[in-house]
Amino acid sequence: MADAPATEPRLTGSVPLYKNVEPLNRQKHKNYGVKTVANPFSFLKDWHFVPAISPEFSFACGSYPIIFLGERKMPVLVMGLRQGSNVFVTGEGQFDNEHYIPAYVRRYPFVSATNPNDQASTVCVDLDAEFVVSENPERPFFDEKGEPTDYTKQAIDFVSAFENDARATEAFVERLIALDLLEQKDVKVANPQDPQNPVTVAEYWGVSNEKFAALPAAKLKEMMDNGDLTAVMSHLISLQRWDRILRRTSQLGQAQAQAQA
């Protein structure tokens, strides 16, 4: 946590969901905090995936496909087929409470910024979050003495734990790559205009069933001991959730068409 504006670090790069991020500062943000809003998940409704951490795979696999994207093949939870459409968040900003809320979402509006020279990370907050206010917050960030409130302490602990889990996730992905377990996969749907040529609606990296099944027993034992086996199995199970994404996307499209009609 920063103490003086002159020493504030800056968050660089693009961070999904976040808009106006500042290091949390006991002076600058002494009157800030959060309030209850009617649409608490409106910040998520335009995002069709969010980053995932491997320790949550076993919780998330019952709700979403867990896939790997980009050159670094980092895992994400799929929550829709296209940008601007999250099929688990209503237009009123409500989350489908029958499904797991990702850790990345629960961390919001807080996030950590890496400092140079191996200094400790700085906890930041998105001031553009609808529920972050600068006057009369229900849960202030700081008390009258300028010390973090219990709410802020819990948020800082969660951000720190998430950062540790994110590093563990990067190491997990590196091990998958070293074993050459990841292969390119896709999701196709029927094309009514051309039944012989289905339409590809998603492309991603996933664990190869064949390569995974061919791993020697000693390697599987090692993966069981370090937790990788649970994460891989959860990922493979989660791919069955593509049907849910496709079904909800179709239902949402039909509802929008009826509303326009």
pLDDT at residue 155, rounded to an integer: 97
52-90 tens-digit pLDDT: 999 999 999 999 999 999 999 999 999 999 889 999 999
Please give the biggest Cα pair distance in the chain.
70
Q: What is the pTM of this model?
A: 0.90
Nearest-angstrom CA–CA distance, 30 and 24? 9
pLDDT at residue 116, rounded to an integer: 67
Instruction: Judge whether 198 and 173 are in contact, CB under 8 Å.
Output: no
Strand, helix or coil for residue 248: helix
Nearest-angstrom CA–CA distance, 217 and 4? 55
Instruction: Name the residue type at position 123.
Output: V
How many Cβ atoms are within 10 Å of 158's Cβ, its own excluded? 15
pLDDT at residue 14, rounded to an integer: 60
pLDDT at residue 120, rounded to an integer: 73
- Rg of the chain in Å (alpha carbons): 21
Strand, helix or coil for residue 124: strand
Instruction: Judge whether 137 and 32 are in contact, CB under 8 Å.
Output: yes
pLDDT at residue 121, rounded to an integer: 80
Instruction: Judge whether 44 and 13 are in contact, CB under 8 Å.
Output: no
Instruction: Judge whether 123 and 112 are in contact, CB under 8 Å.
Output: yes
Exposed, middle or buried, 255 (CB in 10 Å: 0-12/13-18/19+)? exposed
Give me the torsion for CA of 94, 98, 104, 105, rounded to 10°.
10
Print pLDDT tens along the chain (261 aa): 554 333 444 444 468 899 999 999 999 999 999 999 999 999 999 999 999 999 999 999 999 999 999 999 999 999 999 889 999 999 899 999 999 999 999 999 999 987 766 667 899 999 999 999 999 999 999 999 999 999 999 999 999 999 999 999 999 999 999 999 999 999 998 877 777 788 899 999 999 999 999 999 999 999 999 999 999 999 999 999 999 999 999 998 887 777 776
First-to-last alpha carbon distance for the chain, in angstroms, is: 52
